[in-house]
Amino acid sequence: DTAVSQTPKYLVTQMGNDKSIKCEQNLGHDTMYWYKQDSKKFLKIMFSYNNKELIINETVPNRFSPKSPDKAHLNLHINSLELGDSAVYFCASSQPRTGTSGNTIYFGEGSWLTVV
């Protein structure tokens, strides 16, 4: 029944490794996002896809590569992990409405990434 689900929930890995976080939404939304929440709790947008197409790409190292095989899935792959990548990564989705800007974003439960 979970609307936005992401796996894994917890991930501990060594510096230099490559890891992926998967996200799926069953809300039928067209837009999906990745947000990063650091230790100070700041929520920063990383990427946004609309119907499999990249529409927002913030200043994120190109070690981070999102992939959207279909509009219900948005995965995040991270190469050569660094200590500073440790954070909570939230997947989210929303549904654009014709004639209305600004739409409610629904978050997944988060993936706690710790790089050691």
Q: Of these, 55, 63, 80, 82, which contacts other proteins (CB under 8 A)? A: 55
What is the β-pairing status of strands 64-70 and 19-25?
A: unpaired
Tokens at 56, concatenated: 């927002």
Rounded to a whole number of angstroms, the minimum distance from the CB of residue 10 to other proteins is 11
What stretch of H or E contains 33? strand 31-37
Q: Of these, 13, 65, 73, 109, which contacts other proteins (CB under 8 A)? A: 109
Q: Of these, 12, 27, 43, 116, which contacts other proteins (CB under 8 A)? A: 43
Q: Which is nearer to other proteins, 49 or 64 (CB)?
A: 49
DSSP 62-79: TTEEEEEEETTEEEEEE-
Contact between 50 and other proteins by CB under 8 A: the answer reads yes
Tokens at 7, concatenated: 């796996």
Contact between 66 and other proteins by CB under 8 A: the answer reads no
